[in-house]
């Protein structure tokens, strides 16, 4: 039996049910493996002192320190994330907070490996803890956890040293692996580990016109799913759709760019066909994606976005930038188009698909290789090999 301690600061809770859903799904898959016994540690970063009781921190501070979450035994220790330090002390604070928690867990659960599902601050803390307990550490890079923290002056060296110190590394795409190597991480220890998609939940629907009508849409529909952040490029997609008369755009997500995007929609006079939906419950996402004719995301950086493969599984072609693993997903016109982050280019790519759409079945076939079963099998084999080959195992 492989005893796994999974660590991730990116994991859902009662206040953020969509937060880190892909980490949750990967962890649930691994925990269900017949040869795995798993415990989950999902630390929560909070500011010091009375600041923990203000704004969005207050609900997080009230979460239980341990609970059953979808069958998982989840520990939720707190660590101090001091504001305005650009993250430079986060990993050290996380390590300090985890020592007593992991000491207690290890008394009854002698874990064989630490499986880290987000690179920073989790990775640096886990590498130090791996040395403390004499177990190998695997760290997975997903996108911004390396692209941002791995290049920010305050944290870049910590990310690089964690990558060099881990027994094994995972990357969500070959492009992500190449970026990690450029940062100084050992390529021979990095394995590409693609995400999965629930092929039963994300699938084409029989009547796309009726599904659009339920959303209050007539005519072509484009959807964009992702946090309202500048790097997601929603402004580019809004400009593109504004140039396509009769096309509706629905954007699902929340974030700090909402006010800016609302102003852009008003300025362009497209409020009748461009809507910001806010956060959409994950249970409602498959129906939204399957109703659309095109799924568009103009990200400036990505690892390999889950929404790309979820859209394909729904039979909805995608229009995306050449960010991260885009070219590992769009390998045929049936999957959609990869283009530059420019409104006219996006408008042209969307228009091409609307004029000559692939069949939903052909588009869905492009997601056939992205399954959670394959994700689980690959992750299990990776972690088991690290344990077998770890020096302290003799």
2-196+372-393 shares its CATH topology with 208-365: yes
Please compute the mean of the pLDDT values over residues 112-140 and round it to a whole number.
Answer: 97
Please compute the mean of the pLDDT values over residues 79-108 and round it to a whole number.
Answer: 95
pLDDT at residue 392, rounded to an integer: 58
pLDDT at residue 301, rounded to an integer: 87
pLDDT in tens, 37-92: 999 999 999 998 777 777 778 899 999 999 999 999 999 999 999 888 999 999 99
pLDDT in tens, 197-253: 999 999 999 999 999 999 999 999 999 999 999 999 999 999 999 999 999 999 999
Give the Cα separation of 325 and 304 in Å (integer): 5
- Is pLDDT of 288 > 80? yes
User: Which one, of 139, 137, 127, lies nearest residue 177 by Cα?
Assistant: 139
Between the CA of residue 324 and those of 89, 175, 304, 331, 362, what are the distances in Å?
Answer: 28, 5, 6, 14, 23
Q: What average pLDDT does the structure give for the chain?
A: 95
User: Which one, of 376, 369, 365, 388, lies nearest residue 314 by Cα?
Assistant: 365
Give the Cα separation of 266 and 354 in Å (integer): 25
Classify domain 208-365 at the CATH topology level.
Answer: Rossmann fold (3.40.50)
Residue pair 384/343 in contact by the 8 Å Cβ criterion: no
pLDDT at residue 231, rounded to an integer: 92
pLDDT at residue 83, rounded to an integer: 87
> What percent of the chain is modeled with pLDDT above 70?
99
Q: Does domain 2-196+372-393 have CATH number 3.30.1450.10?
A: no
pLDDT at residue 294, rounded to an integer: 98
Where are the domains positioned within the chain?
Answer: 2-196+372-393, 208-365
Query: Model confidence at 394, in pLDDT bands (50, 70, 90)?
Result: very low
pLDDT in tens, 320-367: 999 989 999 999 999 999 999 999 999 999 999 999 999 999 999 999
Instruction: Report the number of secondary-structure helices (H) and strands (E) in the chain.
Output: 16, 16
């Amino acid at each position: 039996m492989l005893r796994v301690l999974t660590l991730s600061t990116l994991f859902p809770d009662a206040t953020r049910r969509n937060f880190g859903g892909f980490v949750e799904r990967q962890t649930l898959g691994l925990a269900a493996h017949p040869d795995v016994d798993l415990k989950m540690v999902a630390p929560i970063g909070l500011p010091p002192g009375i600041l923990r009781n203000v704004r969005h921190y207050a609900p997080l501070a009230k979460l239980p320190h341990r609970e059953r979450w979808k069958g998982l035994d989840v520990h939720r220790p707190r660590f101090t994330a001091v504001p305005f330090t650009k993250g430079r002390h986060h990993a050290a604070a996380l390590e300090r907070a985890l020592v007593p928690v992991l000491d207690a867990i290890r008394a009854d659960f002698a874990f064989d490996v630490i499986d880290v599902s987000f690179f920073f601050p989790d990775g640096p803390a886990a590498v130090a803890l791996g040395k403390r307990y004499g177990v190998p550490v695997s760290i997975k890079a997903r996108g911004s956890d390396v692209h941002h923290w791995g290049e920010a002056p305050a944290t870049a060296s910590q990310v690089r040293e964690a990558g060099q110190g881990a027994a094994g590394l995972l990357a969500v795409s070959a492009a992500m692996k190449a970026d990690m190597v450029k940062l100084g991480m050992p390529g021979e220890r990095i394995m590409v580990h693609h995400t999965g998609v629930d092929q039963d939940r994300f699938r084409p629907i029989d009547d796309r016109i009726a599904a659009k009508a339920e959303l209050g849409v007539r005519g072509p529909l484009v959807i964009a799913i992702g946090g309202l952040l500048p790097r997601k490029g929603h402004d580019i997609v809004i400009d593109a759709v504004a140039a396509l008369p009769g096309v509706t755009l629905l954007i699902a997500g929340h974030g700090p760019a909402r006010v800016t995007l609302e102003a852009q929609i008003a300025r362009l006079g497209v409020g009748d066909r461009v809507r910001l939906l806010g956060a959409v419950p994950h249970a409602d996402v498959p129906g939204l994606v399957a109703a659309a004719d095109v799924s568009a995301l103009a990200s400036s950086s990505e690892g390999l976005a889950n929404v790309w493969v979820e859209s394909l599984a729904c039979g909805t072609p995608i229009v995306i930038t050449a960010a991260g693993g885009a070219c590992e997903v769009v390998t045929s016109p049936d999957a959609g188009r990869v283009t530059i982050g420019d409104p006219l280019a996006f408008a042209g790519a969307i228009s091409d698909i609307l004029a000559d759409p692939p069949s939903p079945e052909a588009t869905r076939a492009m997601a056939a290789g992205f399954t959670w079963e394959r994700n689980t099998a690959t992750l299990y084999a990776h972690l088991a090999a690290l344990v077998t080959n770890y020096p302290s195992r003799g």
